[in-house]
Amino acid sequence: MDSVPALDEPLKKVLGPATAKVMAEHLGLHTVGDLLHHYPRRYEERGQLTHLADLPMDEHVTVVAQVADARLHTFASSRAPRGKGQRLEVTITDGSGRLQLVFFGAGVHKPHKELLPGTRAMFAGKVSVFNRRLQLAHPAYELLRGDAEETVETWAGALIPIYPATAKLESWKIGKALQTVLPSAQEAADPLPGPLREGRGLVTLPEALLKIHRPHTKADIEEARARLKWDEAFVLQVALARRRHADAQLPAVPRRPRPDGILAAFDGRLPFTLTEGQRKVSEEIFADLATDHPMHRLLQGEVGSGKTMVALRAMLAVVDAGGQAAMLAPTEVLAQQHHRSVIEMMGDLAQGGMLGGADDATKVVLLTGSMGAAARRQALLDLATGEVGIVIGTHALIEDKVQFHDLGLVVVDEQHRFGVEQRDALRGKGKQPPHLLVMTATPIPRTVAMTVFGDLETSVLDQLPAGRSPIASHVVPAADKPHFLARAWERVREEVEKGHQAYVVCPRIGDEEDGAKAKKKSPEDEAEKRPPLAVLDTAEQLARGPLAGLRVDVLHGRMPPDDKDAVMRRFAAGEVDVLVATTVIEVGVNVPNATAMVIMDADRFGVSQLHQLRGRVGRGSAPGLCLLVTEMPEASPARQRLNAVASTLDGFELSRIDLEQRREGDVLGQAQSGTRSSLRMLAVIDDEEVIAEAREEAARIVASDPDLERLPALRTALDALLDEEREQYLEKG
């Protein structure tokens, strides 16, 4: 984390090329500094010294005793059928009782040479029972020579660090390597400004590194963790604060709607009133659009909270001010869906330059990769001349050929589906940086928003518009209770008989290409002995079996775009009763008449994904029903996850559960740029306070010293965090 030569020293110089190679390839550790920041995952306690007479069962103990007897036995087993198996049995005594130690296989050689009768040693291990006698299997031991009272005390009471390790490099070898480099910790430059560290009673960085790797007490570990968490939170928040500071210096064209323009005309025709939340968020957005530096705002709203309406009003405000607005959607299905719903909402206001268009009308076009050449040429021409006020498209919008007359606002839908490079390429098409509105229906807990999207201001839409119906969710345990699954299909038929429609979602497509992939089974599949259910097979089985007589159709990502659009149109028009699909329907698909959803192999989806999928039903006046089908056993974590989804419709609550169940570092790792997460010590959910305080401190420091000239050690720490990829991520964020 540091440019001090001692910490920049390559590991191969210090540990030798063989160990350094394994550390680089398997753990991503290259320098002494990297290794010092490879923290223990937990600590093993050898246990307090125990008399053999008082041994507790199933606990880790440390005993000091003398070897009374040692015998090597050979035996036949499935692994060693010719009687070549070896077992060493050692009996030890401390005067209060006797205990048997046992070593097997290749592990017998060293103790057989060292544990001779009369030898005194310390032994540590877990007490178990074999043949009604207490024993320690494969205990750790240390021979005692001479006056060993002091050794006994320190060895027994020690906290042994257990490191994240690999098959090629065990934890204790990593521990040994750390012993070698630990003296260099004294050279670590401290990134926390002195007053901040002292004000919060945090130990220095060298002290924290010593205590995390070689603690004498549990208090040492706590002190070190508290300090190292602050480092991670603070350095990251400084990076984000500098990003926000730099953005605030950029010029942008203020965009204010005209009092009698297209936005006023649109609002005047709305058949309903906006929710309080929509009004409040719109005001925040309009205030940002009116400033002369670019808006960077994250709009998060529950599935169906009316984000599209808020985004459309922002786009109309920009059109009013003479600019153009572009909406970037992750899939063609979603881009087409947005295009259709925007044109429906706008009516003749979307028919600029056409017969029957309203006075204030503008042109709204769709731009996707699969458009015909003539339509595409016309759309590109209209964008370049400024005929088009609003364009909705996929990443086709980003291509070099696409030129804007005056791009004023970029709306990115479902942010997590887009690479930062794509967002950046579109922003680069404005004469000056355009305003940016990022929308997501995946609720993000406050702390994650502060870390992952820390360079964006956040608006939250948390009330549903009037007329939205509740969604009932139930887990269907297909393996324990097959009749529940039969009942699920009856429920689908009942919904269709009432004139409604249903979705059936599967994890896989199931065409040949898929079949080849399915042969490479993941460990979970191996355990469950079957690949995930597929759209094509399921649709066929349902049409022949429980849903015979209903109009069943399929939708998946490998269909040609025109076919996908045709299926969605038929489904939206009510010509299809049951749509069997992959997660292509996860975001933005809006068919108010669809009331039921059955998710097959629901345990194969993440919590947020299930919540997103469920949001596709209950969008009209009839109540929604979501059935989560799984074969996982009752007590499994997968079932607990599904029970959590079934028990609440609160996306923020679910996103917390999701985060707690995933490995912490993934949150930043994925959201940033595929580099290893910088969070090793900080838990995004548990350390909310640290993150919030670090954000405040960072903002204060950056406001007074944006280039960190007075804090060279912090600057160095930043450079280490923002290796090139991360620097780009934050630059483009």
3-state secondary structure of 76: coil
What pLDDT does 109 receive? 87
Task: Report residue 538 as tokens.
Answer: 């399921």
Angstrom distances, CA of residue 163 to CA of 37, 134, 186, 675:
11, 30, 21, 21
Burial of residue 264, with CB atoms counted within 10 A of its CB: 0-12 exposed, 13-18 middle, 19 or more buried: middle
Task: Report residue 647 as tokens.
Answer: 């028990």
What pLDDT does 606 receive? 83
Strand partners, 474: 627
> What's the CA gap between 313 and 330, in Å, rounded?
21
> What's the CA gap between 102 and 701, in Å, rounded?
60
> What's the CA gap between 410 and 436, in Å, rounded?
5
> What's the CA gap between 57 and 446, in Å, rounded?
45
Q: DSSP character for 45? A: E
> What's the CA gap between 587 and 413, in Å, rounded?
9
Share in percent of the chain as helix, strand, coil (round to 5): 45, 20, 35
What pLDDT does 429 receive? 79
What pLDDT does 319 receive? 95
Nearest CA among 352, 273, 362 for reference residue 317: 362
- DSSP E strands, 138-266: 140-143, 159-162
What pLDDT does 106 receive? 80
Angstrom distances, CA of residue 682 to CA of 33, 161, 654, 690:
18, 18, 21, 9
User: Per-residue DSSP letters for 231-260?
Assistant: HHHHHHHHHHHHHHHHHHHS--------TT
CB atoms within 10 A of CB 230: 24
Laid out side by side, the sheet with 594-599 consists of: 471-477, 624-630, 594-599, 501-505, 578-581, 552-555
Pairing mode of beta strands 133-137, 120-130: antiparallel
Task: Report residue 575 as tokens.
Answer: 């010509």
**CA 456 to mean position of chain CA atoms:** 18
CB atoms within 10 A of CB 601: 23
Length of the chain: 733
Residues in Cβ contact with 113 at an 8 Å cutoff, skipping those fewer than 6 apart? none
**CA 223 to mean position of chain CA atoms:** 28
**CA 319 to mean position of chain CA atoms:** 36
Q: H/E element holding 384?
A: helix 373-385
Which residues in the chain come in under a pLDDT of 50?
1-4, 512-528, 663-677, 724-733
What pLDDT does 674 receive? 30
Nearest CA among 297, 328, 307, 308 for reference residue 407: 328
Nearest CA among 417, 436, 398 for reference residue 296: 436
Nearest CA among 181, 711, 701, 664 for reference residue 451: 664
CB 447 within 8 A of CB 368: no
Q: H/E element holding 624?
A: strand 624-630
- DSSP E strands, 2-119: 42-45, 60-75, 85-93, 98-104
> What's the CA gap between 718 and 236, in Å, rounded?
8
What pLDDT does 578 receive? 94
CB atoms within 10 A of CB 698: 23
CB 579 within 8 A of CB 492: no
Q: H/E element holding 407?
A: strand 407-413
> What's the CA gap between 452 and 445, in Å, rounded?
10
CB 418 within 8 A of CB 410: no
**Residue entry with tokens 């906006």:** 274
Residues in Cβ contact with 603 at an 8 Å cutoff, skipping those fewer than 6 apart? 630, 631, 632, 636, 638, 639, 641, 642
